C-alpha cells in the first residue's frame, strides 16, 4: 500500500476560485475516502495501476510527491484537507496544469534567499515581496536569512493562500495576500524573490520589477531553452546576472531553467555607486577620485604589460596610490585591494561595510565577472 504522512483532522479548506476544477472518478473518490489515518501515517488501500495513475495525478495537483529513497509519499500540511474536499465534492483544482505549481526545493530556496540577503540584508528592515508564494519555501528561507525583513507573500490559489496563513500564523513579519500578482497594489519593495509560472515568466518578472523601488533587488528562477531564449535576452539586456539553475532546484520536477538577479531602474554599477555614497562620510567627490585612481591603475597595468614603464617607477606609483587610499577609506571602514576584472582589466576592488565586494575599474563600480557567466548561460 502507499503511505502518506498524517494530517490535521480539523482543517477545512475550500478550492472555490481556482481557475480549473478536474473531476475525480467514483472509484478514485472511494479509494481516497477509504484512507485510514493512524499514528503518523495515512494508509491508502491497494488499487489497480489505472486507478493509481488517476490518484497520482491528483496527488501531484495538491503537492504530494513520491520519495523514492523513503518509499513513501511526502505531502504539505494541508493535503488532508484537500483529500477530504475532493472526496466530498468530486472535484479538485489542478494546480500543476493551471497554476504551474512546481515548488522550489528547500535547499535551493535557501541559496536564492542568500543571494537576496547579500543584496539587501544590510538594510534595517527591508520590505520583500514573494509574488507566487506557493508552499512558502522561499518565504521561510527569507525569514531565516533576513530575520528582520517584512515579507508580503502573494498567492493566487485560495487553498495555498490559506495554507500559508496557517504556516506563518502569529508571525508579524509575514503578510499573506490572496490575489494575482497582477492585481497586487503594493509598491516600493526593497527586494523580491520569485519562482513564477513558467508559461508567463517574463510577464511576471517584468511586473514584479515595477513593484520594486529604484534600485530594488530581484532574485528568481526563469525557464531556459529554445522556446524561452527571449527571456534570457531580456534579462541580459536588463543587466541581470545569470547562472544555470541546478536540477535539485525544484521539489517535484526537473526542468530547464536559469537563475538571475537584477536591480530595478538602474544597473549594478549605479546601485553600487548609490551604496558607496550612502556610507557616512563618503561624498560624490570621493567617488570621482576613486574612479580616477582605478583608471590610473588600469593604465599603469597596461603600461607594465607593454613594457613602456620602468618597474621601479610603477611600484612607486602603486605605493603612492595605496597610501592615498588608506588615508581616504580607513576612516570609512572600507577596505580595498588592487584587482583584475574580465570586463575592464585592472582596477580597484572595494570591501564595503555591508559585506559587499565591489569593483572599481575603467567603467566604475562593477560586479566581478558579471558578463562572463552570462555569456556562458545564454549560449
Residue 362's pLDDT is 39
Q: Compute how many other C-beta atoms are within 10 angstroms of the C-beta atom of residue 215.
A: 19
Rounded to a whole number, what is the largest CA-CA distance in the chain? 88
Residue 94's pLDDT is 54
DSSP structure string for 48-99: -HHHHHHHHHHHHHTT-EEETTTTEEE--TTHHHHHHHHHHHSEEE-HHHHS
Q: Compute how many other C-beta atoms are within 10 angstroms of the C-beta atom of residue 210.
A: 9
DSSP designation for 266:
S
Residue 75's pLDDT is 73
Nearest alpha carbon to residue 274 among 142, 128, 119, 149: 119
Element (H, E) at 289: helix 284-306
Distance CA(290)–CA(22), nearest Å, equals: 63
29 Cβ contact list (under 8 Å, min separation 6): 86, 87, 90
Distance separating the N- and C-terminal Cα atoms of the chain: 47
Nearest alpha carbon to residue 75 among 96, 54, 60: 60
Please give the grid coordinates belonging to residue 136: 512558502
Is 0.85 surpassed by the pTM of this model?
Answer: no
Cα torsion angle, 236, 240, 241, 246, sign = negative
Contact call for residues 29 and 97 (beta carbons, < 8 A): no
Residue 4's pLDDT is 58
Q: From start to end of 109-235, where are the E strands? A: 127-130, 150-155, 174-178, 189-194, 212-223
Task: Walk along the chain (379 residues) and give the pLDDT tens digit of each residue.
Answer: 455 554 443 333 333 333 455 778 889 889 888 888 766 677 778 888 889 888 887 887 777 777 777 777 777 666 777 788 788 888 776 554 444 556 777 888 899 999 999 888 888 899 999 999 888 889 999 999 999 999 999 998 877 788 889 899 999 999 999 998 999 988 889 999 998 888 788 999 999 998 998 878 999 998 887 788 888 888 877 778 888 887 767 655 556 788 898 888 655 556 566 777 778 888 878 877 887 887 788 778 778 877 888 888 888 998 999 999 999 999 998 888 887 654 445 677 778 777 666 655 434 444 333 333 344 444 4
Could you give all domains of the chain from N- to C-terminal order, each with its CATH number?
A: 2-98 (no CATH), 106-266 (3.40.50.150), 270-370 (no CATH)
Q: 265 by DSSP, 3-state: which?
A: coil
Amino acid at each position: 500500500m502507499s503511505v502518506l504522512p498524517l494530517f490535521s483532522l480539523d482543517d477545512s479548506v475550500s478550492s472555490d476560485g481556482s481557475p480549473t476544477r478536474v473531476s475525480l472518478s467514483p472509484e478514485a473518490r472511494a479509494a481516497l475516502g477509504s484512507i485510514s489515518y493512524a499514528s503518523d501515517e495515512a494508509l491508502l488501500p491497494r488499487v489497480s495501476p489505472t486507478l493509481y495513475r488517476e490518484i497520482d495525478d491528483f496527488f501531484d495537483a495538491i503537492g504530494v510527491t513520491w520519495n523514492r529513497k523513503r518509499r513513501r509519499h511526502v505531502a504539505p500540511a494541508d493535503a488532508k484537507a484537500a483529500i477530504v474536499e475532493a472526496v466530498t465534492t468530486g472535484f479538485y483544482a489542478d494546480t500543476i496544469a493551471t497554476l504551474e505549481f512546481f515548488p522550489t526545493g528547500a535547499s535551493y530556496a535557501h541559496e536564492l534567499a542568500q543571494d537576496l540577503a547579500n543584496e539587501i540584508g544590510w538594510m534595517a528592515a527591508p520590505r520583500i515581496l514573494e509574488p507566487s508564494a506557493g508552499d512558502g519555501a522561499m518565504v521561510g528561507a527569507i525569514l531565516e536569512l533576513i530575520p528582520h525583513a517584512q515579507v508580503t507573500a502573494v498567492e493566487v490559489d485560495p487553498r495555498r493562500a490559506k495554507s500559508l496563513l496557517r504556516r506563518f500564523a502569529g508571525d508579524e513579519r509575514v503578510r499573506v495576500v490572496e490575489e494575482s500578482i497582477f492585481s497586487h497594489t503594493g509598491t516600493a519593495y526593497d527586494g523580491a524573490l520569485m519562482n513564477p509560472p513558467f508559461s508567463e515568466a517574463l510577464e511576471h518578472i517584468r511586473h514584479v520589477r515595477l513593484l520594486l523601488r529604484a534600485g530594488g533587488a530581484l532574485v528568481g528562477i526563469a525557464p531556459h531553452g529554445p522556446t524561452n531564449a527571449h527571456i534570457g535576452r531580456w534579462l541580459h539586456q536588463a543587466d541581470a546576472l545569470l547562472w544555470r539553475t541546478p536540477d535539485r532546484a525544484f521539489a517535484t520536477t526537473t526542468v530547464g531553467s536559469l537563475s538571475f538577479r537584477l536591480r530595478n531602474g538602474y544597473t549594478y554599477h549605479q546601485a553600487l555607486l548609490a551604496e558607496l555614497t550612502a556610507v557616512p562620510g563618503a561624498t560624490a567627490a570621493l567617488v570621482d577620485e576613486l574612479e580616477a585612481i582605478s583608471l590610473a591603475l588600469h593604465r599603469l597595468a597596461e603600461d607594465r604589460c607593454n613594457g613602456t614603464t620602468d618597474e621601479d617607477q610603477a611600484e612607486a606609483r602603486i605605493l603612492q596610490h595605496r597610501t592615498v587610499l588608506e588615508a581616504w577609506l580607513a576612516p570609512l571602514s572600507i577596505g580595498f585591494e588592487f584587482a583584475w576584472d574580465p570586463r575592464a582589466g585592472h582596477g580597484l576592488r572595494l570591501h564595503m561595510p555591508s559585506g559587499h565586494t565591489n569593483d572599481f575599474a575603467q567603467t566604475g563600480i562593477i560586479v566581478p565577472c558579471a558578463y562572463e557567466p552570462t555569456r556562458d548561460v545564454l549560449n
